[in-house]
Amino acid sequence: MVEGCHLDVDGLAPKARADAMDIRKEMESGKPSTTTKRRWDNLFRYVLNDGSFPVAPFVMRRPEGLSPIDGTHRMAVLSGLRLIPEANFAAKKLRKPANEQQVWMGKHKDGELPNVQ
């Protein structure tokens, strides 16, 4: 089911947070892989101009935080955009994307959680 969800990198499960930060660090290094750069640039432009994701990520709520099944690059881009000062958006007549975004919230039929490392 699609629902609104607060997506802050600090609210991600530890592995998901580390994965999103690794993507950001790869971009900040100035030497990202071709695939990471392409995915980042496309998502960055879309979220910058639209304020939302082109497709809602698929996440599961776990005791330790949100765990993206699909959408780590989207989480990384959103967290990177959230670091940019509001004035930079205003200068381009854009709005800073909100942390509240649409996600597909997954859950198992009986409420059990998969064993994720």
State the pLDDT at residue 116.
53
Q: Tell me the per-residue pLDDT of 76-100, one tens digit each, with 9 for 90 and over.
A: 999 999 999 999 999 999 999 999 9
φ and ψ at 99, to 5 degrees? -70, -25
Per residue, what are the HEC states of 28-47? Answer: HCCCCCHHHHHHHHHHHHHH
Q: Tell me the per-residue pLDDT of 3-50, one tens digit each, with 9 for 90 and over.
A: 999 999 999 999 999 999 999 999 999 999 999 999 999 999 999 999
Asked, for residue 75, whether it belongs to a domain, the answer is yes
State the pLDDT at residue 107.
83
The band of 1, judged by pLDDT with boundaries at 50, 70 and 90, is confident
Asked, for residue 22, whether it belongs to a domain, the answer is yes
Number of domains composing the chain: 1
Structural domain boundaries, residue 82 = 2-106
Q: How far apart are CA 24 and CA 79, in angstroms?
A: 9
